[in-house]
């Protein structure tokens, strides 16, 4: 293990230190760190709604054999409105908050007014957002939630750079020194705001001639090429979901067409076949087949704790990390990670735009998929014949999705162990990279941040 760590350290550490000082990547990282209170609160209420308030058929507690009467279930469901509203105000507006925090973080790197840049980034985001849902004058929630985060990231960075460009050239209104600082700062952002929002307004206007908008173009660039992958949909989903997440895009939402149109129907076909014949063996004897890449398979064996098998990362941090911030983040992320919700660790560590975590986060999913596919074709792992709730913990999900296979449970636990071992050396390298960055920070770095 030490040889592997030393080899990876020689390769990754210089690159990580260099990338760790890149202003745009720093802005994205720091922006998402500042978003952490929203992601933590939203993730916890997703957990409460989908697990602790859900007792109907197909839920975690129902699968555990706990039965409640219909009146009690209806009463508990009524409380989900609270969590739903909190979700709408946290994870549901991630794309709207991202430009503010990323724009202000980059402006702070450039030593210009961070608050003004962040506010202009939000205004620019809403300027290019269509205000129409059907015939109603309204903003679609699709543009504000996690599926559109990449658009918010782009706008935050572009607006901050434009704001810096304008301010550095002194295209601002200067008031006498006798004017209060808060008033003077407000007026100094008038001209940059006018120029930036005018550019965004023109972009929005021009795109209406093609009956599209800025956000739709960004989403289409990501989603459309992926919708026709056909037979390779499973591998494509496994590879691209964590890759998109690394760059700040909600991978599962961006690839929802592959899930809802292909993999979920495959899961439903498996369930129907199993129900018809009563067992996997009887169905196979009758000449029937089961789909391997049914969506529950990914939740059970590959996305352990969420995309990138981040439950393994949390365990690796507990085992090997000596960084107090990482260990605290792991403690906060563990409850939601146990139930397949990993936004806290993705945005809080963060994993997004973290060069050291790129390799394990991207490669662990295809590695676990390879183990799972091998086990399936060797006859070790049974097919998916049930659809347990996606929030079911690792091991239990595989157990219930295969209608009670102990082998499936053990395979899921084995995969979790593999994920933990893969993350271990990178957790150690991350500790050393942070120490190196802190030791090597110089006055020259501060001076470079002032350059445009």
**Residues 45-57, mean pLDDT to the nearest whole number:** 78
Residue 351 · residue 365 · CB < 8 Å: no
pLDDT category, 441, cuts 50, 70, 90? low
Predicted local confidence at residue 342, as pLDDT: 87
Q: Report which of residues 231 and 135 the model is more confident about.
A: 135
CA dihedral of 357, 363, 367, 370, whole degrees rounded to 10: 160
Predicted local confidence at residue 445, as pLDDT: 55
pLDDT category, 10, cuts 50, 70, 90? low
Helices 214-223 and 190-208, axial angle in degrees (round to 10): 60
pLDDT category, 286, cuts 50, 70, 90? confident
pLDDT category, 117, cuts 50, 70, 90? very high
Measured CA distances, 36 to 16, 30, 40, 192 (Å)? 23, 10, 6, 29
Of all residues in the chain, the percent with pLDDT exceeding 90 is 33
Q: Report which of residues 389 and 102 the model is more confident about.
A: 102
* pLDDT at residue 4 is higher than 70: no
Lowest mean pLDDT among 103-107, 175-179, 199-203, 321-325: 175-179
Predicted local confidence at residue 126, as pLDDT: 96
**Residues 249-259, mean pLDDT to the nearest whole number:** 72
pLDDT category, 443, cuts 50, 70, 90? low
HEC profile for 268-296?
A: HHHHHHHHHHCCHHHHHHCCCCCCCCCHH
pLDDT category, 2, cuts 50, 70, 90? low
343-364 pLDDT, tens per residue? 889 888 888 878 888 889 999 9
pLDDT averaged over every residue in the chain: 83
**Residues 305-312, mean pLDDT to the nearest whole number:** 93
Cβ contacts of 135 within 8 Å, gap of 6 or more: none
Cβ contacts of 303 within 8 Å, gap of 6 or more: 241, 309, 340, 365
Lowest mean pLDDT among 117-121, 218-222, 319-323: 218-222
57-88 pLDDT, tens per residue? 766 677 778 888 889 999 998 998 998 898 88
pLDDT category, 114, cuts 50, 70, 90? very high
Predicted local confidence at residue 179, as pLDDT: 66
How many DSSP H helices and E strands does the chain contain?
25, 0
Predicted local confidence at residue 360, as pLDDT: 92
pLDDT category, 366, cuts 50, 70, 90? very high
420-429 pLDDT, tens per residue? 999 999 988 8
186-202 pLDDT, tens per residue? 778 899 999 999 999 99
* pLDDT at residue 227 is higher than 50: no
Of all residues in the chain, the percent with pLDDT exceeding 70 is 84
CA dihedral of 201, 206, 209, 214, whole degrees rounded to 10: -70
**Residues 102-120, mean pLDDT to the nearest whole number:** 92
d(CA 290, CA 267): 9
The CA R_g of the chain, rounded to the nearest whole Å, is 24
**DSSP letter assigned to residue 404:** S
Predicted local confidence at residue 61, as pLDDT: 79
**Residues 377-387, mean pLDDT to the nearest whole number:** 88
**DSSP letter assigned to residue 136:** B
**Residues 391-405, mean pLDDT to the nearest whole number:** 86
Predicted local confidence at residue 81, as pLDDT: 92
Predicted local confidence at residue 269, as pLDDT: 80
Instruction: Give the range with max mean pLDDT: 34-38, 59-63, 181-185.
Output: 34-38
Predicted local confidence at residue 158, as pLDDT: 95
**Residues 389-416, mean pLDDT to the nearest whole number:** 89
């Amino acid at each position: 293990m030490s040889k592997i760590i030393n080899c990876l350290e020689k390769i990754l550490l210089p690159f990580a230190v260099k990338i760790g000082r890149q202003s745009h990547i720093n802005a994205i990282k720091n922006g998402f760190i500042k978003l952490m209170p929203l992601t933590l609160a939203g993730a916890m209420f997703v957990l409460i709604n989908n697990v602790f308030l859900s007792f109907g058929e197909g839920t975690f507690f129902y699968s555990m054999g706990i039965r409640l009467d219909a009146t009690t279930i209806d009463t508990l469901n009524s409380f989900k409105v609270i969590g739903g509203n909190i979700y709408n105000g946290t994870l549901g507006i991630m794309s709207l908050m991202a430009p503010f925090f990323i724009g202000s973080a980059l402006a702070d790197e450039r030593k210009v007014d961070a608050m003004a840049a962040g506010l202009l980034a939000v205004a620019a985001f809403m300027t290019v957002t269509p205000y129409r849902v059907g015939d109603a004058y309204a903003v679609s929630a699709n543009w504000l939630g996690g599926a559109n985060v990449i658009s918010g990231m782009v706008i935050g960075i572009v607006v901050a750079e434009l704001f810096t460009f304008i301010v550095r050239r002194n295209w601002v209104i200067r008031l006498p020194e006798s004017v209060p600082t808060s008033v003077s700062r407000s007026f100094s952002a008038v001209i940059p705001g006018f120029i930036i929002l005018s550019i965004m307004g023109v972009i929005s206007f021009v795109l209406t001639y093609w009956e599209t908008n800025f956000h739709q173009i960004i989403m289409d660039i990501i989603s459309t090429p992926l919708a026709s992958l056909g037979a390779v949909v499973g591998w494509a989903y496994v590879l691209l979901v964590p890759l998109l997440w690394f760059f700040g895009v909600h991978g599962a939402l961006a690839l929802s067409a592959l899930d809802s149109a292909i993999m979920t129907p495959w899961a439903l076909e498996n369930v129907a076949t199993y129900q018809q014949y009563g067992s996997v063996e009887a169905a196979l004897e009758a000449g029937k087949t089961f789909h391997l890449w049914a969506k529950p398979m990914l939740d059970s064996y590959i996305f352990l704790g969420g995309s990138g098998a981040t439950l393994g990362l949390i365990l690796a941090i507990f085992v090997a990390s000596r960084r107090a911030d990482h260990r605290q983040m792991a403690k906060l992320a563990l409850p939601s990670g146990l139930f397949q919700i990993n936004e806290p660790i993705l945005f809080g560590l963060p994993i997004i735009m973290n060069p050291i975590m790129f390799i394990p986060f991207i490669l662990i999913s295809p590695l676990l998929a390879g183990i799972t596919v091998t086990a399936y074709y060797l006859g070790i792992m049974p097919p998916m014949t049930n659809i347990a709730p996606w929030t079911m913990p690792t091991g239990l999900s595989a157990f219930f999705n295969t209608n009670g296979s102990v082998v499936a449970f053990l395979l899921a636990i084995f995969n979790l162990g593999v994920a933990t071992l893969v993350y271990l050396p990178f957790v150690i390298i991350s500790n050393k990279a942070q120490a190196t960055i802190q030791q090597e920070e110089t006055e020259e770095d501060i001076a470079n941040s002032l350059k445009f």
